[in-house]
């Protein structure tokens, strides 16, 4: 409707075309859905291309964030492990010092 193509809403609804299905449509499938105007198909295909690019960009950004979180978690775990080793070594050294006396 935002593309001023309201005349196709009823057919898309009748065919249960939702957002995910819409992304899979090509020119021939649009034509089969009653979109006879090549100009209208071009408008839809252009918008679908933009939407796919936007989705891909968002997916890549999400993957990047997940990688950064994982890297941070690993770094924090390594720091904790080093801290525990120091604590273990300190308590082991203190125990050995007591035993020698």
* Count of domains observed in the chain: 1
- 73 found inside a domain: yes
**What is the domain-level CATH number for residue 58?**
1.10.150
- 100 found inside a domain: no
- 77 found inside a domain: yes
Q: What is the DSSP string of 6-72?
A: GGGHHHHHHTT--HHHHHT--HHHHHHTT---HHHHHHHHHHHHHHHHHHHHHHHHHHHHHHHHHHH
The pTM is what?
Answer: 0.61
- 2-41 pLDDT, tens per residue? 888 889 888 888 999 888 888 888 999 999 988 999 999 9
- 74 found inside a domain: yes
* CA nearest neighbour of 19 among 42, 43, 61, 52: 52
- 43-77 pLDDT, tens per residue? 999 999 999 999 999 999 999 999 999 999 999 99
Question: Hey, how many other C-beta atoms are within 10 angstroms of the C-beta on 61?
Answer: 10
Note the pLDDT of residue 56.
94
Range of the domain at 37: 6-89
- 19 found inside a domain: yes
Note the pLDDT of residue 38.
94
């Amino acid at each position: 409707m935002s593309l001023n193509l309201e005349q196709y809403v009823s057919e898309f609804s009748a065919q249960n075309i939702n957002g995910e299905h819409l992304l899979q449509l090509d020119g021939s499938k649009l034509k089969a859905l009653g979109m006879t105007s090549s100009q209208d198909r071009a408008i839809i295909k252009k918008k679908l291309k933009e939407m796919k690019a936007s989705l891909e960009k968002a997916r890549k950004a999400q993957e990047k964030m997940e990688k950064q979180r994982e890297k941070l978690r690993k770094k924090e775990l390594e720091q904790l492990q080093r801290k525990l080793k120091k604590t273990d070594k300190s308590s082991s050294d203190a125990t050995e010092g007591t035993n020698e006396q």
